[in-house]
Structure 1
Amino acid sequence: MFNPRRLEFALYRRGLSIAALAERLEVTTRTIRNYLASTSKSEPDVQLLEKILKFPANFFMTTDDLPVLDEDQVSFRANSRTSARLKRLARTYGVIAFMLNNWLEERFELKKADLPDLSEYTPEHAAQVLRAEWGLGIRPITNMVELLESKGIRIFSLEIETSEVDAFCAWNNSTPFIFLNNQKSAERSRFDSAHELGHLVRDIHNMKHEPELLRTDATKPSCERDLDNSRNIEKNANEFASAFLMPKEALLPLKYQSINSIEELIKLKSVFGVSLTALAYRLYKLEIISEWMYTRILLPQIARLGYRKKEPQPMARDTSRVWAQLFTYLDEDKISIIDIAKELNIDSNDIEKLTFGLVNNKPHSIYHLRMVK
């Protein structure tokens, strides 16, 4: 039986409008709307849908529900600037990631997450508490992706070429997910991952308390209050990321040194793996450098040298140990993403875009998988 919800999902995933699909199917837009509303007396040609939307015909002919990822379950950066179309597109990555994760969890013993609820702490304090709980001390974090994976957080990649969706996070069946836009620089991606971690331990992990924690002026219209809350959430997540990646105790000794040049900043940024602008701002907020040095010397130099858009001495991107290991085991068991895609009734390219390009596309028969701890 044709499933209209899956057609709606496929349209969102491919960014295709109802009018565009109607034109390619050579039907009216009303016909497509009737398909979506389950009011049509006929069903669409699923073979044509497969060619147009790049989903197997069987994808549209199952009554199984797709995982749910509503907009209020997701934290988008710069929420007021992100278009509804891009939000829908980003959420389709989440839904497919949930499907893939469920498939993997049926075959592998993946790490279970047990993140603390730090919603009652300030961002700075929350970062300190989490570092202590995870035994990180004040040392720099060499690989954020590996760290988060070791704590049971599922990390997936995004291929969305826009600055409006840097990253986002969500929960599914008590499992936390972080999605990172792999079009960003390595330094930016590390900060994004720490930013989303802040959401997971301070916001999304305890959404019921969010209105109380982020209370705003009740005299304002609700739309303005929502915008203020969104800005506060993002500001707090940025503060958490800054404190988590650049611990205050590790930076305060620098107060007795003279940091007055881009060259000195570049040396320091390589230690903590952050952008020049993020590092300069952190030093300024901790009063290690003066406002005059920050606003009159360092920021103008960063802008003039083009370092806002392109980092000097760019670092290597953090890599995923879990995905590399999983694909090694899958390859040994002669299982490719084409095999997985067939089981899930999706296109293998959709898996590739979620897994940092670490794929084996050769088709194989599916054998029994070992359980991996």
Structure 2
Amino acid sequence: MDEVNFRAGRRASAVHRHAAVAAGTFGVMVDRWISEHFTRPSWSVSDAAAVDELETTDPALAAQTLRLMWGLGEGPLPNIVQLCESKGIRVYGLPSVAKVVDAFSGWSDGTPYIFLSRSKTAERSRFDIAHELGHLILHSATVDSGSEAHHRQEEEDADRFAAELLAPASSVADGLPRHPSVDQVLAFRSRFKVSAMMTAKALLRSSRTDNAGYRRLCSALARRGFRTGEPGGMAHHERSRIFTHIFGTGAGAKRTTADRIAADLSLPVEDVHALTFRTQVHAVNAEPTKTGSSGFRVR
């Protein structure tokens, strides 16, 4: 895999980095196996052409344009894993050894991939997917200069894209008063399935509060445990429709098992489970081989 870029480089050890790269390689193998046995959406030519146009666009405007292209309106996004899958974007999990790497994304033979850890809250997982979608949209043809400034700018762009995609400034302005209470922030948080801290940032971004109000709100949220968790948040991570289908047991439907995939590809079955979220679909504790060119980007 080429041009692997770790956002959490100082926190991620060599073991975590190698595990993430291996997961990407294995994920492409599993993905190709699934494509040979099941029919599912592919990345469309029209979306690919639109990505070329959006790469030079302001990140927030690119997110607004993508919402318009995909008919999402300005309300809360649906299950973002299934939304990506419906557009032909492959979403896979990461093994526990690579959990320090929150997420990464990239392309292989013209197919977009997102890999993510589910070691944090479901709200954070939604943001990670939106962030990686931002990289796929904004930076698919970007040449990495290798400089820290370049890397930092790409991360900021992806964060701005994700924030606008998940909670558009127009929806924040319509849904919250100026200087809202903590309870009002939490109600918006639950409706849009974003973190409380992200909602606070969205208020500042959309001019619904000022710097002093933002600091007060963050302090109040931190006292309630929102700096390190998401009390009262989403009870479960969002599930993949693809994996639910192919591992299902419905009568008369074509199904498979992780053991069969692992055997056919000579992969450890534990890795197939991790990649397909089979061992990671559970309640969230919200409290305190030839793979072709890929160019994966890792956070």
Common topology (TM > 0.5): yes
| 1:47-62 paired onto structure 2 within 5 Å | none
For residues 259-304 of structure 1, give each alpha carbon's deviation from its aligned partner in whole angstroms, at most 9, with x where no partner exists.
4322111111011111111110111121111211111x11111222
Structure 1, unaligned runs of 5 or more: 1-68, 212-224, 360-373
Q: Distance in 2 between matches of 1:263 and 1:163?
A: 32
Cα distance change, pair 161–187 in 1 and its aligned pair in 2 (3 A): farther
Structure (1 or 2) with the greater helix fraction: 1
Shift, 1:328, TM fit: 2.1
* Structure 1 residue corresponding to 2:142, chosen from 191, 203, 207: 207
How many residues were matched structurally?
272
Is the counterpart of residue 121 in structure 1 residue 57 in structure 2? yes
For residues 124-157 of structure 1, give each alpha carbon's deviation from its aligned partner in whole angstroms, at most 9, with x where no partner exists.
1100111111111111112111111100011111
* Structure 1 residue corresponding to 2:243, chosen from 320, 323, 329: 323
Is the counterpart of residue 338 in structure 1 residue 268 in structure 2? no
Q: Distance in 1 between matches of 2:97 and 2:184?
A: 32
Q: Distance in 2 between matches of 1:335 and 1:245?
A: 34
Letter in 1 for 2:174: P
User: Contact 2:172–2:202 at 8 Å: present in 1 too?
Assistant: no
Is the counterpart of residue 77 in structure 1 residue 7 in structure 2? yes
Q: Distance in 2 between matches of 1:173 and 1:329?
A: 32
1:198 equivalent in structure 2: 134
Q: Distance in 2 between matches of 1:192 and 1:301?
A: 24
Letter in 1 for 2:210: S
* Structure 2 residue corresponding to 1:306, chosen from 216, 225, 228: 225
Q: Secondary structure at the match of 1:182?
A: coil
Q: Distance in 1 between matches of 2:8 and 2:59?
A: 18
User: Contact 2:124–2:194 at 8 Å: present in 1 too?
Assistant: yes
Shift, 1:206, TM fit: 1.3
For residues 69-125 of structure 1, give each alpha carbon's deviation from its aligned partner in whole angstroms, at most 9, with x where no partner exists.
23x0x4433345433332111011111111111111112222111342211101111
Q: TM-score, normalised by structure 2?
A: 0.84
Cα distance change, pair 335–133 in 1 and its aligned pair in 2 (3 A): closer
What is the CA RMSD across the aligned residues, in angstroms?
A: 2.2
Q: Distance in 1 between matches of 2:96 and 2:83?
A: 24
Q: Which has the higher contact order (CA 8 A, sep 6+)?
A: 2
State the structure with more CA Rg: 1
Q: Distance in 1 between matches of 2:273 and 2:187?
A: 35
User: Contact 1:259–1:265 at 8 Å: present in 2 too?
Assistant: no
Shift, 1:326, TM fit: 1.5
1:34 equivalent in structure 2: none
Percent of aligned pairs with the same residue?
35
User: Contact 1:76–1:167 at 8 Å: present in 2 too?
Assistant: no
Q: Secondary structure at the match of 1:171?
A: strand
Q: Secondary structure at the match of 1:284?
A: helix
Is the counterpart of residue 347 in structure 1 residue 268 in structure 2? yes
Q: Once structures 1 and 2 are overlaid, which stretch shifts more, 257-266 or 341-350?
A: 257-266
Q: Distance in 1 between matches of 2:270 and 2:250?
A: 17
User: Contact 1:75–1:170 at 8 Å: present in 2 too?
Assistant: no
Structure 2, unaligned runs of 5 or more: 281-299
Q: TM-score, normalised by structure 1?
A: 0.68
Q: Secondary structure at the match of 1:156?
A: strand
